[in-house]
Amino acid sequence: MSTKKLTLLALFTTLSLALYAAESAIPPLVPLPGIKLGLANIITLILLRHFSVRDAAVVLSARVALSALLFGQALSLLYSLAGGFFSLLVMALVMKLLRRKLLFLTGAMGGLAHNTAQLLTALAVTSTPGVLAYLPFLVLSGVSTGLFTGLCAQLAGRYLLPYLPKKYTPPPES
């Protein structure tokens, strides 16, 4: 990996961590645990569109580790890893199917995948089937916040394109 690319990924990691920190300072929007905006996912979507899945995974790993170290508890690391990587996998597949277009749909599927993975992790950790009662709320919040982060990523990507190296620009949209 070149120094230039490593520096660029470090900057994206910093942006992702800053968005996570800003979101942590916002009071919960609803009184249910686990429902957040997922602002750091904006960076993951931008990386998936303009870079590679591997680059997005590197930044996601660094952000999850640093955010757990700086802001969370040990158990939050497990939930973040499960949600983050399942979301990344789903978004990478959707991104491939949609030919790197329609980031809002990719974000919605990623939000849904993230909440599903976290719910399954909670079920595995607690062995309490009662956590499945959150499913309708998590589906609704995952899709709606994913739409929001996808739209944000699409808009932010337009403004970032002039600053990205030429080889990282996406294929022309039709």
pLDDT at 172: 53
pLDDT at 65: 93
Please give the pLDDT value at position 7.
92
Report how far apart, in Å, the C-alpha atoms of 135 and of each of 17, 32, 53, 105, 113 are: 27, 11, 28, 20, 12
Q: What are phi and psi of 172, to 5 degrees?
A: -60, 140
Domains of the chain: 3-168 (1.10.1760.20)
**pLDDT tens figures, 62-118:** 999 999 998 877 778 899 999 999 999 999 999 999 988 889 999 999 999 999 999
Global confidence as pTM: 0.88
Cα distance between residue 173 and residue 91, in whole Å: 19
Buried b (16+ CB within 10 A) or exposed e, 120-145: ebbeeeeeeeebeebeeebeebbbeb
pLDDT band of 149, cuts 50, 70, 90: very high
Residue tagged 């998590």 (tokens): 138
How sure is the predictor about 31, in pLDDT bands with cuts at 50, 70 and 90?
A: confident
